[in-house]
Structure 1
Amino acid sequence: MRSGQPPPPLAFITGASSGIGQALALRYRQAGWRVALIARRKEAMQAWTLAQGWSPDCFRIYAADVSAPDEVIAAAQACLAEQGLPDVVIANAGISIGMDTAEHSDLDVMSRTLATNNIGMAATFHPFVAPMRQRGSGRLVGIASVAAVRGLPGHGAYCASKAGVVSYCESLRGELRGSGVKVLTIAPGFIDTPLTRGNRYPMPFLMSAPAFANQAFRAIQAGRSYCVIPWQMGVVAKLMRALPNAMFDRLMHGRGRKAREGEV
Structure 2
Amino acid sequence: MFMRLSLSLFSCLVLLAYISQAKQKQSPVLDQATVSPDIEVTTKDLASQKQQQWQEFQQSKETNPNLQSPKPLKSVPSQKVPLPSPNFNPPIDTPQISNIEPVSLDNYMTLAPTSTTNKLGNPIYKLSLYANGQLLAAYPIVTGQATTQSKNRHQEGSQAPLPDGKYRIASGVVPGNEPEVGEQFLPITPLFSTGRSALGIHYDPSFEKSNGEDGTHGCIGLTNKQDFAQVLSYVNSYQPQYLEVKIQP
Higher relative contact order (CA 8 A, sep 6+): 1
TM-score (ref. length: structure 1): 0.20
Between structure 1 and structure 2, the one with the greater Rg is 2
TM-score (ref. length: structure 2): 0.20
More helix by share: 1
